[in-house]
Amino acid sequence: MFDDVQGADAPKDLIIGQQAREAMNQLDRRDLLKLGLVGILGSVVPLMPAGTAMASNYGAHRINFRQAHTGDGFNGVYRVGDRYLPEAFDRINYALRDHRTREVFPMDPRVIDIISIIQSRIPGNKKLNILSGYRSPKTNAMLRGASTGVAKNSFHMYGQALDVRVPGYSSRKVQSIAKSLRAGGVGYYSRSNFVHVDTGTVRSW
């Protein structure tokens, strides 16, 4: 699916840089999880100002999603207070793998926080459909060759982006919720009916 802003370069402060990604490609999925998340599973990178829904350091945080292309998903607690759960992310990372190449890559926990907040603000707490999670360089290059709407250094390649659709709920409203969080990038794709969210700088298109 399309994503990001055309021609956007990967930001300097990516959680997982290009060199790390190349090294990780030689490791198995469990090692990827350990390397990619060991520094951030123990604490939350704040997304929201104090007093907002996700600012509290207490309580369980849940997410319920389905990967549209594989049917795999996750429904449960992924974070307790200010601690992310490695076992949950093992399953989340697998569900959000590149479905074309079957490569698994550690997702940025902050992007899971973003969609968790979005889900909590949708009436009925509807299950999210994820159209694109992690995207390997090979897949990104293939998609970029087919469309000018795919960024050369897509946030998907770094586990920092998700393309989201909510069955039975307006994607325009999902966009509005996502923009109100001011937690990263938000793109609305009306023709394909989905919203892109990422953990880059705050921007929208």
Q: What is the CATH number of the domain that holds 150?
A: 3.30.1380.10
Give which of 71, 74, 70, 72 is closest to 89, Cα–Cα.
Answer: 74
| CA gap 90, 108 in Å, rounded | 12
pLDDT at 162: 98
Cα-based distances in Å from 10 to 1, 118, 122, 199: 18, 24, 30, 11
pLDDT at 20: 36
pLDDT tens readout for residues 158-201: 999 999 999 999 999 999 999 999 999 999 999 999 999 999 99
Kindly state whether residue 10 falls inside one of the protein's structural domains. Answer: no
| CA gap 139, 99 in Å, rounded | 9
If one counts every other C-beta atom within 10 angstroms of the C-beta of residue 120, the result is 14
Kindly state whether residue 89 falls inside one of the protein's structural domains. Answer: yes
Is it the case that residue 2 has pLDDT exceeding 80?
A: no
Kindly state whether residue 198 falls inside one of the protein's structural domains. Answer: yes
Please report which confidence band the pLDDT of residue 78 belongs to, taking 50, 70 and 90 as the band edges. Answer: very high
Please report which confidence band the pLDDT of residue 100 belongs to, taking 50, 70 and 90 as the band edges. Answer: very high
Cα-based distances in Å from 117 to 1, 66, 73, 110, 200: 23, 16, 17, 11, 17
Q: How many domains does the chain have?
A: 1
Domain that holds residue 64: 18-204
The model's pTM: 0.74
Kindly state whether residue 6 falls inside one of the protein's structural domains. Answer: no
Kindly state whether residue 138 falls inside one of the protein's structural domains. Answer: yes
Question: Angle CA(102)–CA(108)–CA(109) in degrees, nearest 5?
Answer: 115
Kindly state whether residue 7 falls inside one of the protein's structural domains. Answer: no
| CA gap 93, 78 in Å, rounded | 12
Please report which confidence band the pLDDT of residue 12 belongs to, taking 50, 70 and 90 as the band edges. Answer: very low
Structure tokens at 41: 């599973």
CA atoms within 13 A on the CB side of 126: 15
Kindly state whether residue 178 falls inside one of the protein's structural domains. Answer: yes
pLDDT at 28: 41
Largest separation between any pair of C-alpha atoms in the chain = 45
Lowest mean pLDDT among 43-57, 105-119, 162-176, 184-198: 43-57
If one counts every other C-beta atom within 10 angstroms of the C-beta of residue 124, the result is 9
Kindly state whether residue 142 falls inside one of the protein's structural domains. Answer: yes
- In the chain, the amino acid numbered 143 is L
